[in-house]
Amino acid sequence: MLKDIVDVLADPIDRSPLRGADDYSRLVSETGHSYDVARQGYVTLASGAGLNHEGDSADMVTARELFLSQGHFAPFVETVTERVADAVEKSHAEEPVVLEVGAGTGYYLAHTLDSIEGSRGVGIDISTPAAKHLAKAHGRLGAVVADVWEGLPLRDASVDALTVIFAPRNPAEFARVLTDEGEAVILVADSGHLDELREPLGILGVEGGKLERLLEQTRGHLEQIGEPELLEFPIRLDRDSIAAQVGMSPSARHVDPAELRESIAALPDHMEVTAKARLLRFRKA
């Protein structure tokens, strides 16, 4: 709930501290700006201009919820949680704050919060349909709609660990909000991820050079800890899971739905597909 994390939130206009008002129906800043809390429990923290980028649609969020609930990405969620738990242990914080940027449905953050006693979660996403899910994902999670490119509505040095799983990154902001001991755990899809689906369905593959771009972006802001870790495992998908996987991915915006339904119907009952990503850890430079 927002109550649990309001002490780390900041006014997106001037970064002054926020507090709950009128029984947490609004958050107000020291400088007098007011942000309504939606009845579903999330708050939109955007500067006056509003949000410029479009996040995942309601259909994409529903597809993501369905796919992840089937446990296909369990090795991803377990490894991310372990790395965050290690980072938080080093921080010695009693109620460590874990931030997930581009948190989607909250699947990863909720799992991490369950595993780390006393931890508190901030889930940020630009998508309002995602924020509605996020707000319900865990009792110790506060959901915020914000644009990571615009900046994070968080106080300086307020976050013990942050995660980004297949979502956009703003390394300068990550360095600003992390504590001195804090760590960023970033999962990036690797070339070959779900490749077996690409040709039969005519969907987008993972573009090359993602890792190199991430390292370039972080230069001067974040310093890598250790080497990137390869996470690779097979998953067995039926046609419904394949439809959900495509529905939650950027391909959902690029493929004609009728053509996609036809291509999926032509697939075998089950397919074995490779999940492949690299996990990187960083601290403030």
Ligand X SMILES: C[S@@+](CC[C@H](N)C(=O)[O-])C[C@H]1O[C@@H](n2cnc3c(N)ncnc32)[C@H](O)[C@@H]1O
Helix (H, G, I), strand (E, B) or coil at 92: coil
Residues 178, 120, 85: CA angle, nearest 5 degrees:
70
Residue count of the chain, please give it: 285
Q: How far is CA 284 from CA 27, 55, 89, in A?
A: 29, 27, 17
Residue 55 or 142: the one with the smaller Cβ distance to ligand X is 55
Under a CB-based contact definition with an 8 Å cutoff, are residues 231 and 277 in contact?
yes
Interface residues with ligand X (CB under 6 A) are 53, 55-56, 64, 102-104, 107-108, 124-127, 130, 147-149, 165-168
Residue 20 or residue 75: which is nearer to ligand X going by CB?
75
Contact 28, 19 (CB under 8 A): yes
What's the closest the beta carbon of residue 257 comes to ligand X, in angstroms?
19
Torsion of CA 103, 163, 198, 74, to 10 degrees: -90
CB of 124 to ligand X, least distance (A): 6
Q: How far is the CB of 144 from ligand X (least distance, A)?
A: 10
28 or 66: CB nearest ligand X: 66
**Minimum Å distance from CB 238 to ligand X?**
20
Q: How far is the CB of 268 from ligand X (least distance, A)?
A: 26
C-alpha to C-alpha distance for 253 and 99, rounded to whole angstroms: 28
Residue closer to ligand X by CB (options 166, 262) is 166
Q: How far is the CB of 36 from ligand X (least distance, A)?
A: 19
CA dist 115 and 252 (Å) reads: 32
Q: Is 194 left (phi over 0), alpha (psi -120 to 50) or beta?
A: left
CB nearer to ligand X: give 49 or 258: 49
Residue 55 or residue 247: which is nearer to ligand X going by CB? Answer: 55
Write down the least CB distance from residue 175 to ligand X, Å. 17
Question: Using CA atoms, how far apart are residues 184 and 140, in angstroms rounded to an integer?
Answer: 20
The edge-to-edge listing of strands for the beta sheet with 43-44 is: 43-44, 141-145, 120-125, 97-101, 159-165, 178-189, 270-284, 222-238
| 108 versus 282: smaller Cβ distance to ligand X | 108
Query: CA 244 → CA 62, 252, 257, distances in Å?
Result: 8, 10, 12
